[in-house]
Amino acid sequence: MENGADLPRRIGVYAVERELGAGGMGKVYLARSPGGRAVAVKVVRSELAADPHFRERFRAEVEAARRVGGFHTAPVVDADPDAESPWLATAYVPGPTLAELVERHGPLDEERLRSLGAALAEALHAVHACGLVHRDLKPGNIIMADDGPRVLDFGIARAVEATRLTATGAAFGTPGYLAPEQARGDRVTGAADVFAFGAVLVAAAGGSAFGAGTPMGLMYRAVHEPADLSALPEGLRVLVAACLAKDPADRPAPETLLASLGPDPEPVPDTNTVALAAPERPRAVPPVPALAPDVPGRGDEPLRPAASRKPRVITLLIVAAAVASALAGGLFALRGQGDDKKSGSPPATASDSRRTTPRASAPPSEPSSPRPGAVPKDRVTVVVSADSEESWISAKGHDGRSLFDGRLESGETKEFTDKRRIELVLGDASAVHLVVNGKEIPNEFTPGQVERLVYDRGD
């Protein structure tokens, strides 16, 4: 980018030369150290800088990122988490990003894909060894330098995401590369980077693992649908399909990737071959983990021999006895109801015998559509209505229990209730209407923006 009037002259001791780019976290500038060395300085956006939780997390992440070594990262050389606008300086690595390289010169062949994959696996191994998770690995964060690929922005993504989870905000990361657990707001480990690694290799081959379209569509397909691996050479599909498994536990570690892509590659275990040979096969609902379909014995429970016929006979006799008992009880209840009608007294039923208070005057415990202004004191209730286009909704309770995970059609409404807290991920928050604890929430979301929201009882 060209130098502009609003370009800062200095950031810390570094003299700014030009803007390199901008993203979700802030702006990046090319600058020079007092000794003349080129550095890339990333300055945090003002809204993040105003959050004390972010500064605390940013400081911790910078210290951890300083420890990352290896040949395939841009090392952190300086930072100031306490500046008015916190900043981070890394060694400047000249070269196009992977995204720019593919756009200019076309997809990479299998040999170059393997070389890229090995370099990225080595970088992820170095990052994870320091206790960091990148969380936003994508072609735009990979510089194709003369001496090999370099991964940028490692470690800092967690500071941003941890801050946004404390308040309303967008799910940090890039749809199409976000792992299912990131999209759902679940616990994130290094396995999320492996998922992104797989999507990056598909992109480098000229494809798109989860197609194109809105962020909602990309995230929904990443969570529920198999990846499109058609752009990859045949020799890489099994490995990449393993990386894109829906269950984090089924993805290979960076060390395994490195062993499979290095000079003497080790094959992927045969136990995965059956499931990975046809990744385009439609899934059932609820979705089955990518490495588990049609492969017996992969669950926690060991395979057991088939039960003999004798226990089944006993079970059938028990069921028959229960049915006979229920029929007899029903006849008795009908007879008693007839006697009640003759005497003029109200019928006595099993439900009446358990009641301690009359229900006629009591409000229902779970209202189907809370009225604006009626604030429940003992729970949190969220009503989500689709205003226009379909939108992907993921809702969880305070204990991580899934309340809903799917799409809402135009005009459709879902209600979620929990005793403490409800977490939502909205694929396109601008396309829905929210009523929280009986209060309508103004829709001021950006169209197409993915939002992660947390609502509690307010007490």
Give me the residue label for tokens 């060395």. Answer: 37
398-404 long-range contacts, Cβ below 8 Å, gap at least 24? 398/422, 400/186
- 394 alpha carbon, distance to own chain's centre: 10
Beta-carbon count within 10 A of 15 CB? 15
Residue 166 φ/ψ, nearest 5 degrees:
-85, -5
> Is 136 tagged catalytic?
yes
For the chain, how many residues are written?
Answer: 459
Q: Could you tell me where the DSSP H helices lie in 130-214?
A: 156-164, 180-184, 191-204
The answer to whether residues 384 and 405 touch, using CB atoms and an 8 Å cutoff, is no
Cis peptide before 286 (omega within 30 of 0): yes
Beta-carbon count within 10 A of 119 CB? 21
Tell me the three state secondary structure of residue 380. Answer: strand
Beta-carbon count within 10 A of 148 CB? 16
The answer to whether residues 141 and 152 touch, using CB atoms and an 8 Å cutoff, is yes
Q: CA 125 → CA 17, 91, 147, 154, distances in Å?
A: 33, 20, 19, 12
The residue annotated as part of the active site, out of 78, 80, 82, 136, is 136
> Which residues belong to the active site?
136
